[in-house]
A and B are shown apart, each in its own frame.
Chain A
Amino acid sequence: MADVVNLTIAQFQPKKGDYSGNLKRFEQLFESFMSADPRPDVIAFSETVLTGYFVEGGVRDVALPASTFALDLNRAFRARCTGQVDVVAGFYELHENTYFNSAIYVTLGGDEPVIAHVHRKVFLPTYGLFDEERFVEHGLGVRAFDTRWGRAAILICEDAWHALTATAAALDGAQIIFVPSASPARGAWPQPDEEIRGPASMHRWERLARDRAEEHGVFVALIQLTGNEGGKAFPGGSVIAGPHGDIRARAPLWDEASISLSLDLGDITRARASSPLLADLRTMLPHMLRSLGRAGERE
């Protein structure tokens, strides 16, 4: 397992519904990212990155099997790059005759892409401006998975708003939790924290990324979509939080941007040694599970 993971997150603005056109742009992005020194081990993109998020019934037009998505990403990568890279990317998935809002973790560069994991979004926002449950089905779980450098997990957007999901991922050994998101900006009122300029919803996201990272001693990479979809603005503001709840990097508002940085996985060890909350939770987990089971049976 690696000591350091070179991560690039890409805050991308897709053209709505133009899967092929957006994929074509990925060729250029891959080339640009892979020319960096150090080369990234992982490139992470947002939720529904090649189609846009609000497609309503258009899910039926743009959804595709994970294997097809992986092949397309691999072709885009190999068009201009050599070597290997891992990619996290969200997409509308057709799986066993059912539609999902999913994200893939796949290794590109070989003759065939190697899929390590497909996470299917568990918590589908269906309130206010959201209507996901009308168009896709729920994923049924969260798990960590092995990668070339260590262990990771994926939570998609609202998944990360529930404390339990990150808890499950961390208990399952995740060192980095990737959170591909597509979260429209809401709240134009002044914010008390002048360090962070942005809509209220963006502040909430940053707080959340820091809290999840600090509670479990993990890295959290939040990758936001950007652009404007029918009056709903995706503000960007992607962040990478370290295991002390520290913000390592922050992408700008509104615009496309990428951030590359090296994550020292030893930081996880140090954070957990000084604040062993995850170990405490593991010890008490049987009791907590009984509590959860009891609470879950309430009507």
Chain B
Amino acid sequence: MKRIAPIVTGTTPPPLALDCELTTEWLVAFLRAEFKRRGFRKAVVGMSGGVDSAVTGFLSARALGAENTIAVRMPYRTSNPQSLEHARLVTESLGMVERTIDISAAVDGYLENEADADASRRGNVMARMRMIVLFDLSAKYRALPVGTGNKTERLFGYFTWHADDSPPINPLGDLFKTQVWELARFLGVPDAIVNKPASADLIHGQTDEGDFGISYAKADAILNWLLTGYTPQEIVAHGFAASDVEIVRKRLGSTHWKRKLPTVAMLSPTAIGESYLRPVDY
């Protein structure tokens, strides 16, 4: 009797591969709907020179028009000059409105009173200053700030709370980093941006993957298994290194609070968000 191999040997998490054309349509429709509902026609996007903000800019240009997308470059004096150049690659290739706001004076104005601030605190001050800029410019241009955080950094808590995550809408927040890269290639984001290592650009030479101790490719795959309900032991049994699974599990498990609104003491039977429930678009 002829022996036939099984097609699959068990269930696996949903594929990480994207139908990029469909995803683009989906996200453009999302942006258009949210802007219409909220009564805005213009977007402000913090353009860091990285792939997340580039993809967000490309999507915004498709949804609203490049002329309605205000890309804001916000360098600090220690930022890599290449970041500024890469941000310009995006704005120039799409013909967006570009603003450059150097945040050095504002950040240093505060930090001169806090000389002992370590790199983490300094990075948080920069991130929060950038949000002050974005929200202020949103008032100036009557535009809506658009967030750029991806699913991997949200799940890792790799962002400044109430800063990077504060814009009211975010088209990339349910896409893992590797999916953002795939979408970036489809959208035509310049290679120089797609192919460079991801970095928060807070310290010279810093990379996301260096900070994590694991590559995005491995982290996204493991996150995909964890979110689908597989235990760390089961994931290791599927061929992942136990040390990698532990890195991911630990980051995920220790940052749930960062994905939530502030904790409010509940006293009444009508606590907002607990008993009194209305959706954001109601």
Which of A's residues lie within 8 Å of B, judged by CB? 16-17, 52, 54-58, 134, 185, 187-191, 197-200, 227-231, 233, 235, 253-254
Beta-carbon contact of B19 and A189 below 8 Å: yes
Give the complex CA separation of A120 and B14 in angstroms: 33
- Per the bound structure, the CA–CA distance linking A217 and B244 in Å amounts to 52
Within the complex, the shortest CB–CB distance from A252 to chain B, in Å, comes to 11
Tell me whether B141 is interfacial, beta carbon within 8 Å: no
- Complex: how many Å from CA A148 to CA B206? 72
Given contacts A189-B18, A198-B22, A253-B25, contact A58 B278 (CB under 8 A): yes
Q: Which 5 A-B pairs have the closest CB atoms?
A: A228-B33, A189-B15, A56-B277, A57-B277, A190-B19
Taking a contact as CB atoms under 8 Å apart, the answer to whether A230 and B26 are in contact is no
A190 to B186, CA, bound (A): 14
CB neighbours (8 Å) of A228 from chain B are 29-30, 33-34, 37
Of the candidates B25, B26, B282, the one whose C-beta lies within 8 Å of that of A55 is B282
Interface residue count on the B side (C-beta < 8 Å): 24
Question: Nearest CB to that of B169 among chain A residues?
Answer: A231
Interface residues as binary, B94-138 with A (CB distance below 8 Å gives 1, 0 otherwise): 000000000000000000000000000000000000000000000
Contacts of A56 in B (CB 8 A): 277-279, 282
Write the B241-278 contact mask toward A (1 if CB under 8 angstroms, else 0). Answer: 00000000000000000000000000000000001111
Pair A57/B34 contact, Cβ less than 8 Å: no
**Complex Cα gap A127–B16 (Å):** 22
Which residue on B lies nearest to A198, using beta carbons? Answer: B22
5 A-B pairs whose Cβ atoms sit less than 8 Å apart in the complex:
A16-B37, A56-B277, A189-B17, A190-B19, A229-B279
B93 at the interface (CB under 8 A from A): no
Partner of B18, one of A16, A190, A227, A233: A190
> Which of B16, B17, B33, B280 gathers the greatest number of chain A CB atoms within 10 Å?
B33
B19 close to A191 (CB less than 8 A): yes
The total number of A-B Cβ pairs within 8 Å is 70
Whether the pair B17, A233 counts as a contact (CB closer than 8 A) is: no
* Contact pick for B30, options A54, A189, A200, A233, CB 8 Å: A233
Q: How far is the CA of A229 from the CA of B37 in the complex (A)?
A: 10
Q: Which residues of A contact B15 (CB under 8 A)?
A: 189-190
Given known A190-B17, A230-B280, contact A197–B29 (CB-CB < 8 A): no
B24 CB, nearest partner CB in chain A, Å? 10
**What is the interface of chain B, defined by CB distance below 8 A to chain A?**
14-19, 22-23, 25-26, 29-30, 33-34, 37, 169, 275-282
Taking CB atoms, residues of chain B closer than 8 Å to A227 are 33
Complex Cα–Cα for A70 and B165 (A): 45
Alpha-carbon distance between A229 and B29 when the two chains are bound, in angstroms: 11
Contact A58 B14 (CB under 8 A): no
Q: Besides A189-B15, A189-B17, A233-B26, 20 other CB < 8 A contacts?
A: A16-B281, A54-B281, A55-B278, A55-B279, A56-B282, A58-B279, A58-B282, A189-B16, A189-B19, A190-B15, A191-B19, A197-B19, A198-B22, A199-B26, A228-B33, A231-B30, A233-B30, A235-B26, A254-B25, A254-B26
CB neighbours of B26 from chain A (8 A): 185, 188, 199, 233, 235, 254
Closest residue on chain B to residue A226 by CB atoms = B29
Bound-complex Cα distance A54 to B17 (A): 29
Say yes or no: A187 contacts B281, CB within 8 Å.
no
Chain A residue numbers with a CB within 8 Å of B16 are 189
A16→B278 CA distance, assembly (Å):
11
A193 to chain B, nearest CB (A): 12
Least CB distance, B108 to chain A, in whole angstroms: 37
A191 cross-chain contacts in B, Cβ below 8 A: 19
* Known contacts A189-B16, A189-B17, A189-B19; is-contact A229 B281 (Cβ 8 Å): yes
CA–CA, A254 to B24, complex, Å? 12
List B contacts of A17 (CB < 8 A): 282
Assembly CA distance A142 to B127 (angstroms): 56
CB B142 to nearest CB in A, in angstroms, measures 22
| Docked CA distance A242–B23 (Å) | 30
A197 CA to B26 CA, complexed, in Å: 12
Task: Report the minimal beta-carbon distance from B48 to chain A, rounded to whole angstroms.
Answer: 23
Q: Which of chain B's residues have a CB closer than 8 A to the CB of A197?
A: 19, 22
Residues of B with C-beta under 8 A to A190: 15, 17-19
The listed residue (A189, A230, A233, A254) touching B279 by CB distance below 8 A is A230
- The answer on a CB contact under 8 Å between A187 and B14 is yes
Shortest distance from the beta carbon of A229 to any chain B beta carbon, whole Å: 6
User: Across the interface, do A57 and B278 meet the contact criterion of CB distance under 8 Å?
Assistant: yes
